Structure 1
Amino acid sequence: MPEDEKNPAAREVITDYAQAHFRYFRTVDGTVYAQRNGHPVARPMRSQGTAGSHRQELMVGLFNDGRGVFNGTAMKEALDLIEALALTQDVQPVHIRVAPGFDGATWLDLGRDDGQSVRIHPTGWDIRIPDPREVCWRRTQLTGELPIPAKDTDGKGIDLLMRLVNFSSAQSEGLALAWLVGCLGPDVPVPAPFLTGPQGAGKSTAGKMLLRIIEGMSADLRRPPKDEENLITAVAAGWITGLDNLSHLGPDLSDLMCCIVTGGENVKRALFTDGDVVRARYRRPLLLTGIDVGVIRPDLAERLLPLRLERPRVRRTEEELWAEFAESLPVILGSVLDLAVSVRAAQADIPTDLRMADFAHLCAQLDAARSLGALDSYRASLDDLNDDVIEGDLLAQTVLKHAAGNAPGTEVRMTSAEWLHGLTQLYTGDEFRPLPKGWPTTGKVLSDRLKRLQPVLAARGVLVDWGRTKAARYIEMTRPEPSQDEQEQLS
């Protein structure tokens, strides 16, 4: 039997040393973390990783300080006791890459061993080691290291970035900058950029560049996992998740992406237990690339940010391109941070007509700070996505065709079964063409489909509402009369 297991004093040495050199606390879900005194990085107590676990950190500290070599039962019993004591401590959250701070500040983890981070405030940004009680960083294998950002860039980094990325218009450039600034905010849901364009437009390269501004040079795009659990695991372990070369968005993946953008939670059984569970909360920025993903569901369309690219006129080698990007990254990051400061200091009204009001407000602040027309570009991008939804949904096209046959201000009220019959007759027409795959088969299915299409139809001037009389439930469709401004535009 090893000597440290025979001697109960070994456990006391480990416990005393750990409590003197580390701070232990728990998160809201009960996970216990260890944080070296004066250092912002926290490691989970139960981590069994082959590198970077708290157990290894403690063993190295004991050895380097001349306390001895401890392992086996003594180490396990000491850590079990420390973990039990930590469950009575105050609750504090841990964060990956981006975190809220005191006095309206936010923090960006540079992923450095020395713990240096960027504090972003409406009055400016600087580099410092955060107080461990203000910010606790959690690191994973997806946490890459960022360079020290350059100060006083005078916007040069933005010009460098736009020269490297082949955006097809100034509108896409402004929306990309709004998204980057949004990724530096821990509490603002941001829509997922969908980088699209012809073959050879450099979509994957542009996606990697946008990703690496926040996640470091080791970050990369990945293929979408084949199941929901693997995607949630990957999302929860990093800040920005980049999915490359999407060609199809099935209903399950589409719904999961909606949850990732606006926030969700996954609960699964803990390993080696019968009744315990593990909770994984996530709300993360997403980035997508692809030429075409087919039919886009309406709820996902409201959470996408199409960024269009064009084919470059002059081709460059990968080695040359990435060498220039790596050299420019400190200046690019510094300029993005400067932009974030000016956006947070700007005052702007909150748009109330858009689904993602926080991002719309950020676009309005960006316009107030730099006059990039980001809010108008965002509205235009949503209109384009609504067109994509309608073009891919025959039911939506049929509803709009029905509404076009009614005078403005007319209200049509029928049961869901009557609507199904009427819309089916309108679609098939005199030719009696076969119904397409996915056409509603019952009034309930029609009602559910219309609820998904309701925002898209409203954007095209058709209001759908549900109600009930004593006899039955009904669906009401209205084509409102155009406003005075719209009448002047038409005339």
Structure 2
Amino acid sequence: MQAATNLRPIAEVADKPEPSGFPKLIQALELFRDQQNQPCAVLKNDPKLDVFYIGTKPFKQLLEGLFYDEYGKLPTKAVLSDGVRLCELLSSREMTKRTVWKRFAHYNGEICIDTCDGHGSVIVVTGDGYSIRQACEMGVYFSRNENSCPLPTPITGGDYLSMFDAMNLKHKHDLILVATWPIVAAIQGIPKPPLMLYGPAGSTKSTMALMLKNLIAPDAQEGLKIKNNDAEMAQIIDKHDMPFFDNVTSVPQTIADLFCMAVTGGNFIKRKLFTDSDEVIFNLQKPMITTSLDIWTNAADLLDRCLFVELAPVGKASRRDRTSILTEYNDKQGLYLDGYLKVLAKTLQCYRTMPLDNLPRMADYYKWAYAATLALGFDENDFVEAYRQSRLKGQLHSLDQDGFGRIFVRFLDSIGPQEMSSTLFHTKFLEFAKKQGVSMDHLPKAANAFSKKIRHMSFALQPFGWSVAVRKGRDANMVCVNKI
């Protein structure tokens, strides 16, 4: 069949009388396709520039509202279906394409953060500071998720780093990783590592994750659950601006692969129905947070793309209930947001003048996080070391399929700095493991095999504060344990 040519403009098509009544109403809509060629619509003269994806439930509700306002009744299902199909057709004929953003936009060298306040207010951040403007003034199109909640109004005089005083971070390097992560989360079009917060019960993992998420991407759901179905997971990631998965245990390889896709950027495509060939495209490049008792995956490719921050249990003297922590946080959230936006503006300045060579994997994230570290006032080498230690934690876990590394770190914590023969060191380790209830099946049974395993993973012990070396002595091999 020959393709149609010389198509009529939307207004001309819409003027033709139809029994459904929708052609007239559609004149109130601007129809176009997004960067993934998905059909979209916005209400003309809408200052919010609120984008509706044609065919979705929110779009159908929009059409129902237009129909009701005009005719005083709801359209029948058949009439509504015809209206949706007509919009899909006209959006493809219009051939206009626009970039559609979700919560964050990197637009003309500026960062725009959608406040989701119902009025189209957008926080615009430049190297000189920030201001609040209207989406229509900026010409930036946002699609608002139904789960998204409004940001508070920034309150002048805020200090971003003071937000982390309530968080149970063990080292300065952990603070740098956690504090720079939300800064980079606002940068669009680059890979962003999932922030993996892990530690025992009572280490405030979930509360800390919620505070980070609510600072710039609050939504109606506090914590999400991992689904083992990749299509369900893709939909969950797509529907949240900053997905936060709470109490993760383990995931199948298909979900680990999906997380990798969400880091580097990619689209998950599935059919709308089994009976047709129409497709739904889910955008998966999102900043994500997970909490767990331990590192929850052994997938080497994903481990190499994550940030790892281990939290310690809060002592009884410092323990506070979750409600009081979040109440204080909510009272100061406007101040924290002001401080955050000022650091984000300074990060834009630092990024422009930042020379960096020998970049690691996740190079774009590394450069922006490095700039954010400088904007926060830390030394230029602080982030380099913090990121190196985080990657070593991932590498240790990748090597530690049998659980040896974790029990070995606990053993070092219990004995402190020592120097003794490898035979005695091995004996003490086995005694410790037995008292901890660890199965002996996967532990080295001979001192020489034990020494070999220590040498193999010694580099990965540094993030946990230990240096372990095996050297030849006069009569026997010696193991030297030092705190770093």
TM-score by length of 1: 0.71
- How far did residue 226 of structure 1 move? 2.2
Q: Distance in 2 between matches of 1:13 and 1:187?
A: 41
Cα-Cα RMSD:
3.2
**Pairing 1:109–2:114 present:** yes
Residue 424 (structure 1) aligns with:
none
Residue 58 (structure 1) aligns with:
66
Residues 308-345 of structure 1 deviation map (CA, whole Å, 9 limit, x = unaligned): 22333422233222211111111112211111110111
The aligned runs of 1:285-300 (5 Å cut-off) are 285-293=287-295, 296-300=298-302
> Is the 1:207–1:242 contact (alpha carbons within 8 Å) kept by the matching residues of 2?
yes
Q: 1:430 to 1:218 in 2, by over 3 A?
A: closer
**One-letter code of the match for 2:66?**
L
Residue 87 (structure 1) aligns with:
92
- How far did residue 196 of structure 1 move? 1.6
**Pairing 1:31–2:38 present:** yes
**Quick check: 23-32 or 342-351, which moved more?**
23-32
From 313, 338, 342, the equivalent of 1:334 is 338
Q: 1:168 to 1:88 in 2, by over 3 A?
A: same
State the secondary structure of the residue aligned to 2:298: coil
From 133, 148, 153, the equivalent of 1:148 is 153
- How far did residue 180 of structure 1 move? 0.4
Residue 231 (structure 1) aligns with:
233
Q: 1:45 to 1:255 in 2, by over 3 A?
A: closer
Q: Distance in 2 between matches of 1:24 and 1:294?
A: 44
Percent same amino acid among aligned pairs?
Answer: 20
From 301, 308, 311, the equivalent of 1:309 is 311
Q: 1:138 to 1:217 in 2, by over 3 A?
A: closer
Residue 421 (structure 2) aligns with:
none
- How far did residue 213 of structure 1 move? 1.3
> Is the 2:183–2:369 contact (alpha carbons within 8 Å) kept by the matching residues of 1?
no
- How far did residue 151 of structure 1 move? 3.1
> Is the 1:350–1:357 contact (alpha carbons within 8 Å) kept by the matching residues of 2?
no
Q: 1:379 to 1:79 in 2, by over 3 A?
A: same
Q: Distance in 2 between matches of 1:222 and 1:70?
A: 35
**Pairing 1:45–2:54 present:** yes
How many aligned residue pairs are there? Answer: 389
Residue 105 (structure 2) aligns with:
99
Residue 246 (structure 1) aligns with:
248
Residue 267 (structure 1) aligns with:
269
> Is the 2:297–2:303 contact (alpha carbons within 8 Å) kept by the matching residues of 1?
no
Q: 1:40 to 1:389 in 2, by over 3 A?
A: same
- How far did residue 374 of structure 1 move? 2.1
State the secondary structure of the residue aligned to 2:100: coil
**Pairing 1:357–2:363 present:** yes
**One-letter code of the match for 2:161?**
I
Q: Distance in 1 between matches of 2:444 and 2:144?
A: 58
Q: Distance in 2 between matches of 1:202 and 1:315?
A: 9
**Pairing 1:118–2:123 present:** yes
Q: Distance in 1 between matches of 2:337 and 2:445?
A: 58
- How far did residue 17 of structure 1 move? 4.2
**Pairing 1:324–2:328 present:** yes
Q: Could you tell me which runs of 5 or more consecutive residues in structure 1 were left unpaired when the two chains were aligned.
A: 1-7, 397-426, 434-455, 461-491
**One-letter code of the match for 2:388?**
R
Q: Could you tell me which runs of 5 or more consecutive residues in structure 2 were left unpaired when the two chains were aligned.
A: 1-15, 406-442, 450-455, 461-484
The aligned runs of 1:117-136 (5 Å cut-off) are 117-131=122-136, 134-136=139-141
From 165, 180, 183, the equivalent of 2:182 is 180
Residue 388 (structure 2) aligns with:
379
- How far did residue 201 of structure 1 move? 0.6
**One-letter code of the match for 1:95?**
W
State the secondary structure of the residue aligned to 1:379: helix
Residue 477 (structure 2) aligns with:
none
State the secondary structure of the residue aligned to 1:118: strand
Q: Distance in 1 between matches of 2:113 and 2:372?
A: 20
> Is the 1:196–1:292 contact (alpha carbons within 8 Å) kept by the matching residues of 2?
yes
Residue 206 (structure 1) aligns with:
208
> Is the 2:248–2:296 contact (alpha carbons within 8 Å) kept by the matching residues of 1?
no
Q: Distance in 2 between matches of 1:68 and 1:274?
A: 34
> Is the 1:110–1:145 contact (alpha carbons within 8 Å) kept by the matching residues of 2?
yes
- How far did residue 113 of structure 1 move? 0.9
Q: 1:293 to 1:24 in 2, by over 3 A?
A: same
Q: 1:126 to 1:145 in 2, by over 3 A?
A: same
